[in-house]
């Protein structure tokens, strides 16, 4: 089962422990992880289901290439890490 881990910067407002969820497309894996903390979803995804600009999602240590294409299939051994991206100047 893929593992989904949310960084402390995201979970300080909405507690969400590491989740092991069924394999499938990245969008479905994230949805399954949000089941433990539904209030975390709007921090991570926008109204269209895309990853918000201030959030970065990594699969096995690689930043996903598109915030809108979450159809990437994940295997049972994959690890997803969701962090708050830094912005500013």
What residue ranges define each of the domains in the chain, with the CATH number in brackets? 3-84 (3.10.20.30)
Q: Please check the confidence at residue 2 and state whether its pLDDT lies above 70.
A: yes
Give me the chain's average pLDDT, please: 92
**DSSP string spanning 11-56?**
HTTS----EE---EEHHHHHHHHHTT-GGGHHHHB-TTSPBPTTEE
Contacts of 13 (CB under 8 A, 6+ apart): 43
Q: What is the mean pLDDT of residues 23-43?
A: 94
> What pTM did the predictor assign?
0.90
Predicted confidence band of residue 67 (pLDDT cuts 50, 70, 90) = very high
**Any idea which residue has 């049972």 for tokens?**
76
What is the token pair recorded at 46? 């926008």
Predicted confidence band of residue 88 (pLDDT cuts 50, 70, 90) = low
Q: What is the mean pLDDT of residues 52-67?
A: 95
């Amino acid at each position: 089962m893929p593992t989904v881990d949310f960084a402390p910067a995201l979970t300080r407002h909405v507690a969400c422990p590491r989740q092991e969820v069924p394999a499938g497309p990245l969008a479905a894996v994230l949805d399954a992880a949000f089941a433990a903390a539904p209030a975390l979803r709007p921090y991570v995804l926008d109204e269209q289901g895309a990853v918000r600009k201030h959030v970065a999602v990594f699969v096995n240590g690689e930043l996903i290439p598109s915030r809108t294409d979450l159809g990437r299939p994940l295997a049972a051994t994959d690890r997803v890490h969701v962090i708050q991206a830094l912005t500013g100047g």
